């Protein structure tokens, strides 16, 4: 809150009504930090002791001196909490961990350790039949993590002052801890050092992503989500990600190269072909979401039937792929099949968009939703009975042969640098090439004159038209481009899955990609950005794939996640500056109200009302 205070010359100056928040646990600052350090160290030590007496619980937590399974996650979280807590002592070499200068990372990482350890203890008790199955190591880590949370809550954190209560409550403090600070100005580093930091950041991201996909049982994946969620938020709150973002913006070409190299390395980190297949499907889902981001994120067109364009590309490629069940009976080379799928989707985008894009808002959403359902029903009816025999109806087009590019058969494993690259790894690398093409197209489009016109139409189409922008033509261009990119990904999806069926292309279903999940990936990740839809699509595909026991409650959890996102992070996980200014306090003074100041002047202003 910011108010204007009168000065001797009659003017008003802005003054921030901020005050150090009273700790939730009344402890001296030094004692609170010491307790946090001791609790984190205790939780870390407990991971080297046995947590249960039997290996029936997955991960073999019976070994002393060698952490395994969920113990490793507790160890990592405890070590991170310990480092954040020690950085507050001003120890030389640790100050770089918290450039934001805040204790909130300590609170968040300590909560993550408590959540992971508590979940593990509860899972052991539930699966093995009671708390009696817990060995001393589990109790040591559990008590240590609880002590660390108590100490962390005793650390003072500056909060916006609340006029009603005089200090923020626990919920307000937790919400404030989720807001990334503005880190202090960093010292200039040599270019080679900055490039090494970027490479290390992407290397760490690759390791975390590969570890999450490689989790072999659901209990470990749930613990991974808890640790990664709180750890990522803590690192963001510390200001480290803002520092890294500044470096990536400075070295944009190096950043793109590092991201591409890290993505190439992924299939070489997976020994299980099933996990590599998840990575390939994530790239397909993410590429289609990025294409939808052109339509929704840049042009602001709400398309609820976008998955139909993916289906058009997949069906077109399947019909010309040489499948024995194809009604056309032709076998195009790969490049021709790709062009056929992309061109078919482009034509459908123009045909559907030309008569409908004069509509706006909810009306456009209803029409596109209808198109998605019409496509699925039409593919179902082209079975030789209800219509011409083109798509084999509900049976779809099966037995799609594997691709062969320059004599390289993607369906066979190949030895690359001493590592066997499986079929899924081959298609992952092919889809990565397509993703790079889509990213390049999106980036060039967004930074062009056409991209700026799309943003103007998204913000206010009437004003954009008054400024001379041909809204209909540009909206049709966005619609056609988005459809073409979806068709491009559909050609690879048809070969990865061996078959295409109408049920794969619904508005909502238990298995992505579908229109609802594609739209959610764009909104969750951040509309109008490149990395946002990629991250959103990865999360929305990976979580259902790893937690199949929650399939019955998937839509319920999906809706709850969207409501929480709209409440606490409406701009998405990765937001551009425009969205941040739109949804959050900018710190600028508002128009003064009519409350008089002591000298008779008016000028109470509120920040970011």
> Are residue 66 and residue 177 in the same domain, yes or no?
yes
**Is residue 84 in a domain?**
yes
Number of domains in the chain: 2
Burial class, 8, CB count within 10 angstroms (exposed 0-12 / middle 13-18 / buried 19+): exposed
Distance, in Å, from the CA atom of 244 to the CA atom of 235, rounded to the nearest integer, reads: 11
Q: What is the pLDDT of residues 362-421, one digit of tens each?
A: 888 888 888 888 888 888 888 778 778 788 888 888 888 888 887 788 888 877 777 778
Determine the pLDDT at residue 191: 82
> Are residue 316 and residue 227 in the same domain, yes or no?
no
> Are residue 231 and residue 282 in the same domain, yes or no?
no
* Straight-line distance from the first to the last Cα atom of the chain, in angstroms, rounded to the nearest whole number: 9
Residue 91, number of CB atoms within 10 A of its CB? 11
Of 134, 137, 117, 136, nearest to 126 by C-alpha is: 134
Residue 530, number of CB atoms within 10 A of its CB? 21
Residues 120 and 223: beta-carbon distance below 8 Å: yes
> Are residue 132 and residue 166 in the same domain, yes or no?
yes
Q: What is the pLDDT of residues 258-276, one digit of tens each?
A: 888 888 888 888 777 888 8
> Are residue 171 and residue 278 in the same domain, yes or no?
no
Instruction: Give the helix ranges, DSSP H, for 178-266.
Output: 191-213, 218-238, 240-250, 252-265
CATH code, domain with 373:
1.10.3470
- What DSSP character marks residue 596? B
> Are residue 360 and residue 452 in the same domain, yes or no?
yes
Q: What are the angstrom distances between the C-alpha of 549 and each of 188, 276, 544, 546?
A: 50, 21, 9, 9
- CA geometry: angle at 358 spanning 352 and 363, to 5°? 80
Of 29, 31, 73, 40, nearest to 148 by C-alpha is: 40
Q: How many residues does the chain have?
A: 609
> Are residue 32 and residue 146 in the same domain, yes or no?
yes
Angle between helices 104-128 and 136-153 (to 10 degrees): 150
Distance, in Å, from the CA atom of 13 to the CA atom of 15, rounded to the nearest integer, reads: 6
> Are residue 188 and residue 298 in the same domain, yes or no?
no
Residues 428 and 522: beta-carbon distance below 8 Å: no
Determine the pLDDT at residue 579: 62
**Is residue 265 in a domain?**
no
Distance, in Å, from the CA atom of 487 to the CA atom of 313, rounded to the nearest integer, reads: 4
Phi, psi torsion values for 243, nearest 5 degrees: -65, -45
Cβ neighbours for 290, distance < 8 A, ≥ 6 positions apart: 435, 438, 439, 442, 485, 530, 533, 534
Distance, in Å, from the CA atom of 519 to the CA atom of 443, rounded to the nearest integer, reads: 19
Strand partners, 512: none
> Are residue 221 and residue 309 in the same domain, yes or no?
no
Residues 394 and 503: beta-carbon distance below 8 Å: yes
Cβ neighbours for 364, distance < 8 A, ≥ 6 positions apart: 301, 302, 303, 356, 357
Q: What is the pLDDT of residues 158-178, one digit of tens each?
A: 454 444 444 455 444 444 444
Q: Match 């609820």 to its residue by tokens.
A: 304
Return the structure tokens found at 503: 């049920």
Determine the pLDDT at residue 76: 93
**Is residue 563 in a domain?**
yes
Q: Which domain holds residue 224?
A: 19-195+215-246
Determine the pLDDT at residue 585: 54
The continuous run of DSSP H or E covering 543 comes out as helix 531-546
Helix (H, G, I), strand (E, B) or coil at 445: helix
Distance, in Å, from the CA atom of 165 to the CA atom of 276, rounded to the nearest integer, reads: 53
> Are residue 223 and residue 306 in the same domain, yes or no?
no
Determine the pLDDT at residue 100: 66
Of 139, 167, 174, nearest to 153 by C-alpha is: 174
**Is residue 370 in a domain?**
yes
Residues of the chain where predicted confidence (pLDDT) is lower than 50: 1-21, 158, 160-167, 170-183, 586, 589-609
Determine the pLDDT at residue 81: 92
**Is residue 407 in a domain?**
no
Determine the pLDDT at residue 553: 73
Preceding peptide of 175 cis, ω within 30°: no
Of 501, 475, 530, 528, nearest to 349 by C-alpha is: 475
**Is residue 400 in a domain?**
no
Helix (H, G, I), strand (E, B) or coil at 16: strand
Whole-model pTM: value is 0.78
- CA geometry: angle at 247 spanning 241 and 248, to 5°? 85
**Is residue 401 in a domain?**
no
> Are residue 58 and residue 156 in the same domain, yes or no?
yes
Determine the pLDDT at residue 331: 83
Helix (H, G, I), strand (E, B) or coil at 52: strand
Give the torsion through C-alpha atoms of 211, 216, 218, 222, to 10 deg: -20
Distance, in Å, from the CA atom of 479 to the CA atom of 348, rounded to the nearest integer, reads: 10
> Are residue 229 and residue 323 in the same domain, yes or no?
no
Angle between helices 307-319 and 361-381 (to 10 degrees): 30
Determine the pLDDT at residue 609: 36
């Amino acid at each position: 809150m910011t108010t204007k205070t009168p000065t001797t010359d009659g003017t008003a100056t802005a003054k921030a009504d901020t005050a150090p928040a009273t700790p939730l646990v009344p402890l001296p600052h030094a004692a609170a930090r010491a307790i946090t350090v001791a609790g984190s160290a205790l939780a870390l030590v407990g991971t080297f002791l046995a947590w249960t007496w039997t290996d029936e619980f997955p991960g073999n937590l019976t070994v002393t001196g060698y952490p395994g399974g969920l113990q490793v996650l507790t160890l990592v979280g405890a070590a991170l909490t310990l480092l954040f807590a020690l950085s507050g002592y001003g120890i030389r070499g640790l100050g770089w961990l918290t450039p934001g200068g805040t204790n909130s990372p300590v609170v968040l990482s300590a909560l993550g350790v408590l959540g992971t350890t508590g979940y593990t203890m509860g899972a052991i008790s539930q699966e093995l039949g009671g708390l009696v199955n817990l060995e001393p190591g589990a109790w040591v880590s559990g008590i240590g993590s609880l002590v660390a949370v108590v100490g962390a809550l005793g650390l003072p954190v500056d909060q916006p002052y609340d006029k009603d209560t005089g200090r923020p409550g626990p919920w307000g403090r937790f919400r404030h801890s989720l807001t990334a600070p503005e880190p202090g100005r960093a010292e200039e580093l040599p270019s080679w050092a900055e490039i090494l930091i970027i490479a290390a950041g992407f290397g760490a991201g690759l390791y975390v992503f590969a570890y999450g996909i490689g989790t072999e049982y659901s209990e470990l994946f749930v613990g991974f989500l808890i640790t990664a969620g709180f750890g990522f938020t803590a690192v963001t709150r510390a200001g480290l990600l803002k520092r890294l973002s500044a470096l990536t913006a400075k070295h944009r070409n190096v950043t793109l190269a590092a991201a591409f190299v890290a993505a190439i390395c992924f299939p070489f980190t997976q020994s299980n072909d099933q996990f590599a297949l998840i990575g390939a499907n994530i790239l397909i889902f993410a590429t289609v979401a990025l294409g939808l981001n052109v339509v929704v994120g840049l042009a602001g067109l709400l398309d609820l039937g976008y998955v139909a364009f993916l289906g058009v590309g997949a069906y077109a490629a399947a019909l010309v792929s040489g499948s024995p069940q194809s009604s056309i009976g032709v076998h195009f080379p790969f490049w021709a099949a790709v062009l056929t799928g992309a061109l078919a989707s482009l034509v459908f985008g123009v045909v559907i968009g030309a008569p409908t894009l004069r509509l706006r808002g909810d009306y456009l959403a209803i029409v596109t939703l209808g198109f998605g359902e019409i496509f699925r029903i039409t593919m179902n009816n082209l079975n030789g009975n209800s219509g011409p025999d083109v798509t084999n109806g509900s049976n779809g087009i099966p037995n799609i042969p594997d691709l062969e590019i320059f004599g390289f058969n993607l369906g066979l494993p190949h030895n690359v640098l001493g590592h066997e690259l499986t079929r899924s790894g081959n298609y992952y690398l092919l889809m990565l090439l397509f993703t790079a093409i889509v990213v390049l197209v999106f980036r060039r489009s967004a930074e062009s004159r056409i991209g700026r016109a799309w943003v103007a139409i998204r913000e206010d189409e009437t004003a954009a038209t008054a400024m001379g922008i041909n809204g209909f033509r540009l909206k049709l261009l966005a619609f056609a481009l988005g459809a073409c990119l979806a068709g491009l990904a559909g050609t690879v999806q048809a070969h990865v899955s061996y078959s295409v069926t109408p049920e794969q292309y619904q508005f909502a279903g238990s298995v992505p990609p579908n229109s609802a999940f594609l739209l959610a990936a764009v909104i969750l990740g951040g509309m109008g950005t490149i990395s946002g839809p990629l991250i959103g699509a990865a999360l929305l595909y990976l979580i259902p794939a790893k937690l199949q026991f929650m399939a019955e409650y998937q839509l319920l959890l999906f809706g709850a996640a969207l409501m929480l996102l709209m409440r606490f992070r409406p701009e998405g996980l990765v937001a551009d500056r425009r969205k941040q200014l739109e949804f959050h306090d900018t710190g600028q003074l508002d128009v003064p109200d009519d409350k008089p100041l002591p000298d008779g002047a008016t000028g109470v202003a509120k920040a970011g009302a």
